[in-house]
Structures are given as C-alpha cells and as structure tokens.
Amino acid sequence: MHYVAIGASDTVGIGSLDPANGSWPSRLAALMPPERTYRNLGVSGSLATQAQRDQLPVALREQPTVVTVWLAVNDLNAQIPAAAYGASLGAIVDTLVQGTSAGVFIGNVPDLRALPIYAVFDPLVLLALIQSYNAQVTAAAAKHQGRVVVVDLFGGSAELMTNVAVAADGFHPSDAGYAVIAERFADAMRKSGVPLRSAP
C-alpha cells in the first residue's frame, strides 16, 4: 500500500505540537499495514489550483494505491467562487482516477462558524458558502462512484470546534482535532475495504 496526501496547512499538520507525526495524514498512515509507504505532499497556503499544478503531478508519479485530498478552506478564505474551486478539485480527482488505480478520499468543509477567526462573518452567509463548496466536493466524487469517497467533516462539526480540538491560533486543528479528522478518514477507508487497524 502506498498512501499519498494532497492538501494545505491542515494536511501539513500546522497546529500540532509535532506536525510530522501529529498531522491527520500521519496519524492515518500509522494505522496502515507496516509495509505501507507514505508521502505527504501538503503545502501550507495551497489553493486547489496550486495543488493541481504542483502536488498532482507528483502524486501521479508516485502511483499511490490510496490518496486523500483535503482542499477548500484556503479557497473559501480567498473568496474563490465555488464553481472555480469545484473545477480545480474536479480536475484533480478526474486525473487521479484516470492516471492511477488509487482509491480517492476527499474531505469536505466543516461548519467553520464556531471558529474565532470567522466571528466577523455573517453566520448565514458563511454557512451558505460552506454548503456551496461542499456541493462541489460531492459533485467531484459523484462522477466516480466506487473509486472516490467523500469524507464528511461537516456532519458532527461540533466535535472539531471545541476549545480542545482547535489550536491556539483559533483556526487550525490541535492534536486532538487532528485525531478526530484522522478517524473520520479512517472510518471511510475501512468502509471501502482499506485495511486499517483501530486507533490506539
């Protein structure tokens, strides 16, 4: 098994006390069989278009058997229109499906309204934006049923928005938050037949 993670600062593990081991992809990789290999391609600040340009070609060369993609919040913060975000995400997913044999797992956007950094936003406007982005995630996966799975981070968002789950910067997950995210991805993978052991 070869696992490749595509993403931004959340994928890098910013907010963890030990990003190399505490990021959610690292935690996920630790649940995989001992013979697995793992590559984290995440780049802090990455937009979906940048990940398409910079991370996707590397992922294709790696020929993974499992890929995770979690990109959206930077695009949302940059006010990228949902349709433009969806076009970039869809291109990433389509290319992974066509160019590898990997199962692809895409995280959607949690309900960010409880994060301190978003306190200045109209909560109804923010919720509508999150839902429009999540509709794009769903659409990207729906084209490839059986190969691409949406990992729901929006449902049960309260678990990710507690003081314990959010880092001191008020934005990124803490180690506790990354553990929750890793388990969400792990649960989706187990349901799709990826052999993972239970978290300790």
Model confidence pLDDT, tens digit, residues 60-78: 999 999 999 999 999 999 9
At residue 79, the 3 state secondary structure works out as coil
Domain limits, the chain:
2-191
Q: Which residues of 163-193 are buried (b: 16+ CB within 10 A; e: fewer)?
A: eebbbeeebbbbbbbbbbbbbbbbebbeeee
Give the residue-averaged pLDDT of 124-137: 95
Give the residue-averaged pLDDT of 168-188: 87
Give me 83's structure tokens: 């349709």
Lowest-pLDDT range of 29-33, 49-53, 140-144, 193-197: 193-197
Number of helices (H) and strands (E), helices first, in the chain?
8, 5
Q: With 80 as the cut, is the pLDDT of residue 162 above it?
A: no
The more confident residue out of 178 and 159 is 178
Report pLDDT for 200. Answer: 63
> Percentage of the chain with pLDDT > 70?
99
- The CA angle 53-171-78, to the nearest 5 degrees, is 40
CA proximity to 71, closest of 46, 97, 90, 40: 46
Digit-coded pLDDT (tens) for 13-68: 998 889 999 999 999 999 999 888 999 999 999 999 999 999 999 999 999 999 99
Would you put residue 156 in left (φ > 0), alpha (ψ -120 to 50) or beta?
Answer: left
Q: With 70 as the cut, is the pLDDT of residue 199 above it?
A: no
Mean residue pLDDT of the chain comes to: 92
Report pLDDT for 150. Answer: 96
Report the C-alpha gap between 42 and 19 in whole angstroms.
12
Give me 40's structure tokens: 């984290």
Let me know if domain 2-191 sits in CATH 3.40.50.1110. yes
Total count of residues recorded for the chain:
200
Give me 138's structure tokens: 């769903």
Report the C-alpha gap between 143 and 134 in whole angstroms.
15
Report pLDDT for 50. Answer: 97
